[in-house]
Structure 1
């Protein structure tokens, strides 16, 4: 196994790797190296897990305590949310990665988390119908509202004609005490299943638009004194969401340092979100999307 530093690639180096005849084998072997790295951490305890709605403690219901998101409620049954803090490039806790809400309870906890972190951007990488019951945590009709506990979520504006592969919606979250929070919601339409990868160019366009909105949030940062985490979610919070984080971090490294190390980035992500990115196809997608970025966008 090579050192992590030896896997650092310049823009041209990454292009050469992907264009090699044995690129698929190389990428799969590198992913296997990542899977062989022992990931250590303290997990939730069984008594805590038994409070969950679906009390089966499978790999999708396990999380690391060190990166776990806590809600403000005192009782363990009400402060649970399957969400993890993820560090970004030079930005601790840049993201919160979670599963898409699939019940009334998880929807209310989701919005409680948004409110408590004063999150101004949500990136959704699956469609509502993937949740089985087709539950939506916001009302898709402009001008309509949804009540979640002490919070009312109003769909202020659906922005048309941004891009055929994603939709941007402006949401207004109002607490019962009258305090308001404006949230930009990005819904990516072209990744409907984990095993069917989207066009790389569509995913990059989504990522660039999200980065643009995030960078334009300077005024709110000045008022709050900190930058709120971006909430990224998909059906399980393990694959599509983590690809988004890996790609965003990778592009930031290329722009700021002129080089990238996908091996170390994904290895670090797996230290914060248990069992994420275990599919080599998603690792390969990251390489291919970075190839398109380095070839056509830089």
Structure 2
């Protein structure tokens, strides 16, 4: 059995953090949580419900896993994207599914979030996802980031097919190869397909354990764990054979 590694509120010791948590049971692990750097601010101003996630071959801080932004955390979210110089945001959730899962934290054309002005420079709609080219501005500085909305993953369930997810993974790889920023990808969910491409093999149990060390509660159901196996098997079947076999 894989321990869920949930965090208790007492472990955080940050006043007022509950007002910035979408779910009381999904809290960031203290050892890997993202701290917002703000000059002269208190501990509560550094808080965001997000964790750095270790990548393939132990690469530190390759991803950031976070909750869907709330109305009172949108500016914190964009502060994190700016601070970490994230080249890509991958949103694997709907805004609404029985109840609110995420607020609409990006503008239709242009919007101001805290000190940041965000411009939508382009929108590309695909069958399975939507890509937005965003430009963040703070004073005279600018940071470009892509936003992918992948809405077909049902809450606490699994998609009907793994193929759209694999198409998303391919698009993410394509975007990262062209990205100028080396920062982590900000995601609402993560899967280990990149490890299979790099090594030709993957330790699924090890991936889930590593995920839960960095952020408790990742891969919440047995159905999601089975879907992870299925997705990786499908991904492996599409890879070139090693050694001509």
Alignment TM-score, normalising by the size of structure 2: 0.87
Give the Cα–Cα distance (whole angstroms) in 2 for the partners of residues 206 and 55 of structure 1: 28
Answer yes or no: is 1:168 the counterpart of 2:131: yes
Answer yes or no: is 1:88 the counterpart of 2:43: no
Shift of 1:79: 1.4
Which ranges in structure 2 are unaligned for 5 or more consecutive residues? 241-245
Does the CA contact (< 8 Å) of 1:151 and 1:174 recur in 2? yes
Shift of 1:156: 0.9
Does the CA contact (< 8 Å) of 1:42 and 1:66 recur in 2? no
Tell me what 1:97 maps to.
65
- 1:19-73 deviations in Å (ceiling 9; x for gaps): xxxxxxxxxxxxxx324xx85989754652544316898321x221110000013
Give the Cα–Cα distance (whole angstroms) in 2 for the partners of residues 119 and 75 of structure 1: 24
Answer yes or no: is 1:258 the counterpart of 2:200: yes
SS of structure 2 residue aligned to 1:78: helix
Give the Cα–Cα distance (whole angstroms) in 2 for the partners of residues 133 and 124 of structure 1: 11
SS of structure 2 residue aligned to 1:52: helix
Tell me what 1:69 maps to.
34
Answer yes or no: is 1:150 the counterpart of 2:133: no
Q: Alignment partner for residue 53 of structure 1, among 7, 15, 19?
A: 19
More off after superposition, 178-187 vs 253-262? 253-262
Shift of 1:253: 2.7
Give the Cα–Cα distance (whole angstroms) in 1 for the partners of residues 21 and 62 of structure 2: 30
Q: Compared with structure 1, are the counterparts of its residues 134 and 277 closer, same or farther at alpha carbon in structure 2 (3 Å cutoff)?
A: closer
Tell me what 1:277 maps to.
219
Map 1:117-266 → 2, pairs under 5 A: 117-130=84-97, 132=100, 135-139=103-107, 141=108, 144-160=109-125, 163-175=126-138, 177-217=139-179, 220-221=180-181, 227-233=182-188, 241=189, 244=190, 246-247=191-192, 251-266=193-208
Give the Cα–Cα distance (whole angstroms) in 2 for the partners of residues 110 and 72 of structure 1: 12
How many pairs does the alignment contain? Answer: 236
Alignment TM-score, normalising by the size of structure 1: 0.72
Give the Cα–Cα distance (whole angstroms) in 2 for the partners of residues 294 and 94 of structure 1: 22
Does the CA contact (< 8 Å) of 2:20 and 2:48 recur in 1? no
SS of structure 1 residue aligned to 2:18: coil
Q: Compared with structure 1, are the counterparts of its residues 133 and 126 closer, same or farther at alpha carbon in structure 2 (3 Å cutoff)?
A: closer
What do you get for the CA RMSD once the two structures are aligned?
Answer: 2.5
Q: Which has the larger radius of gyration?
A: 1
Does the CA contact (< 8 Å) of 2:68 and 2:103 recur in 1? no
Give the Cα–Cα distance (whole angstroms) in 2 for the partners of residues 34 and 261 of structure 1: 14
Give the Cα–Cα distance (whole angstroms) in 1 for the partners of residues 20 and 5 of structure 2: 25
Give the Cα–Cα distance (whole angstroms) in 2 for the partners of residues 114 and 192 of structure 1: 25
